[in-house]
Amino acid sequence: MPEQAALSGIGVCAGVAAGPLLRIAAVPALPPPAPVADVEAEVGRAVAALAAVVAELTRRADRATDATVAEVLRAEALMADDEELRDGVREHIEDGKDAVHAIDAAFAAFREMFEAAGGYLAERVADLDDLRDRAVASLLGLPMPGVPQPGHPYVLAARDLSPADTADLDPGQVVALVTEVGGPTSHTAILARALGMPAVVTCPGILDVADGTLVLVDGATGQVGVGVDEATAEAAIKAAETSAAAAASLTGPGETSDGYAVKLLANVGSAKNVPAADEAHAEGVGLFRTELLFLDRAHEPSHAEQVTAYREVFAAMAGRRVVIRTLDAGADKPLPFLNQEGEPNPALGVRGLRIARQRPEVLTTQLAAIAEAREGIDVDVWVMAPMVSTVTEAAAFAAAVHDAGLPKAGVMIEVPAAALRAADLLKVVDFLSIGTNDLSQYTFAADRMCGALADLLDPWQPALLQLIGICGEAGRQAGKPVGVCGEAAADPALAPVLVGLGVTSLSMSPRALPAVRASLAGLSHDDCKRLAGLAVAAPDAAEARKLVS
């Protein structure tokens, strides 16, 4: 690569940072096969290595301060703790393989099976590779592969990052992320936003850059300057810091320059996330992810456990709005107690509200717990269901919410069918909340984890914006709120476009709130509508971004 070059990718978390580039540590190489003298002892070594991986991932999940990080780590730990995986390892050892090669063979078999299954399971292949590498490292007595710890700030480069890698990121050292693959809705992108770290994905050529090369990363434009001089890097960072300081100085309710109100809300998974939301002056919670209470459980949480967890968030958000989402399980968030194995394509199967078709008591218990948790607290609780496709589903859910004694029922817009019938949905529910990650996936038939299709998952895609506009217009006509709680809400350049399309609230990682608040404050409502028109009329996402900027 030339001494100075410019690489391009997809910016997934705004911000500017510079530092020497370091690549993620290499995976351990397999040693030559060794004879097995004692089968049971060898099985014990292999099982102990898998248990060490589970323990390490669980420890990282427990210490993670971000609920999203904890969620993906626990999901990966469940995979390493799979009984069928251990059985496969034993079979290979009984066939003569040593522990290291038995683990490698067992994971290879699972990898082939997952790839053949497609859908959700195909998305988890990278997690299998990471688990295999960690188990092999444990057996060989080597450090588990992961993020460099050089003792100074740097830019981390990788083909992609596993959940375990991202959990170890120290923002005091890792100043930016750049990956060769991945998309706007990949785990890397979501976790980068949760950490507030500039990030660029789908950046070809980044692994050809030599370690130690000074790079300048712009997480908004997706540009990565390679071999820049220190003066250029310092000037870019200073300009970004000045802009961030100006944004942070703005407080109060979200609004455009001419006073058009846009509620700015925070996404949370538990009461642990509330302090960050308060620090960012969030006006409430736009997405309370209740599934985090369920994910690491072999059995459904009891009514009392749910009441306690919900009440903690309600009490911390007293006097404000909390939009709580009912269980969003299935697809990339399987739950053992639901026994959902065997679906040919889980992303198109029984997930979200559809679980109530098979297990209605799960929803009934959750709604009763939410109703009890809000008793005696001055909090404005709204309840919404994920994966709603029809007016019939929406009406049934709204009836269940109201039967539980809860005043506000809404639905998430995650499939095109729901967006197209937004006006009809608003005849039976009180509000809509758009989940742009899944809406992108289903609109473009592009798997959220497929880096090769990252351009189709760009939230600036005009077709996606057009669907959002249908929802916004339906809300305006009905006089009911329409929010966005997907990752698109965190983009300060896209926020005015969403408002121009009729969105009345934006919910995001607390770290993103200051920049979004400042972006809206600098434009009038008419400006927002004009920019929305430009973006929807653009031929593609890249041109939409260019026209708006």
Q: Residues 223, 117: one domain? A: no
Residues 494-547 pLDDT 10s? 999 999 999 999 999 888 899 999 999 999 999 999 999 999 999 999 899 999
Provide the token pair at 319: 């006097």
Q: Are 481 and 432 in contact (CB under 8 A)?
A: yes
> Is residue 39 a contact partner of residue 238, using CB atoms and an 8 Å limit?
no
Is 458 part of a structural domain of the chain?
yes
Q: Residue 443 maps to which CATH number? A: 3.20.20.60
Question: In this structure, are 503 and 387 located in the same domain?
Answer: yes
**Which range marks the domain in which residue 109 is found?**
39-140
Measure the CA–CA gap between 326 and 159, rounded to whole angstroms: 35
Q: How many CB atoms lie within 10 A of CB 33?
A: 11
- Specify whether 187 is located in the same domain as 314: no
Q: What is the DSSP letter of 154?
A: E
34 domain-assigned = no
CATH number at residue 66: 1.10.274.10
Separation CA 306–CA 174 (nearest Å): 36
The pLDDT tens digits of the residues spanning 137-156 come to 999 988 777 788 788 999 99
Nearest-CA neighbor of 203 among 159, 150, 247? 159
Pairing of strands 505-508, 321-325: unpaired
Pair 287, 164 in one domain:
no
Domain end marker among 245, 275, 301: 245
pLDDT (tens digit per residue) in 25-81: 777 888 999 999 999 999 999 999 999 999 988 888 887 766 767 777 888 888 899
CB of 387 within 8 A of CB of 410? no
Give, for all 549 residues of the chain, the pLDDT tens digit: 656 788 988 888 888 999 999 998 777 888 999 999 999 999 999 999 999 999 988 888 887 766 767 777 888 888 899 899 999 999 999 999 999 999 999 999 988 888 777 655 666 777 888 899 999 999 998 877 778 878 899 999 998 887 667 666 788 889 999 999 877 767 677 778 777 789 998 899 999 999 999 999 999 888 999 999 999 999 999 988 888 787 778 888 999 999 999 999 999 988 988 998 999 999 999 999 998 787 666 678 899 999 999 999 999 999 999 999 999 876 556 666 676 666 777 778 888 899 899 889 999 999 999 999 999 999 999 999 999 999 999 999 999 999 999 999 999 999 999 999 999 999 999 999 999 989 999 999 987 766 677 788 889 999 999 999 999 999 999 999 999 997 799 889 999 999 999 999 999 988 889 999 999 999 999 999 999 999 999 999 989 999 998
Active site residue 485: yes
**156 has which bridge partners?**
22, 177
Same domain as 451, residue 358: yes
The arrangement of strands across the sheet holding 10-13 comes to: 5-8, 223-226, 214-218, 16-23, 154-158, 174-179, 199-201, 10-13
Would residue 33 count as lying in a domain? no
d(CA 283, CA 253): 7
Please pick, among 101, 187, 281, 525, the residue that the annotation labels catalytic.
Answer: 187
Phi, psi of 381 (to 5 degrees): -90, 125
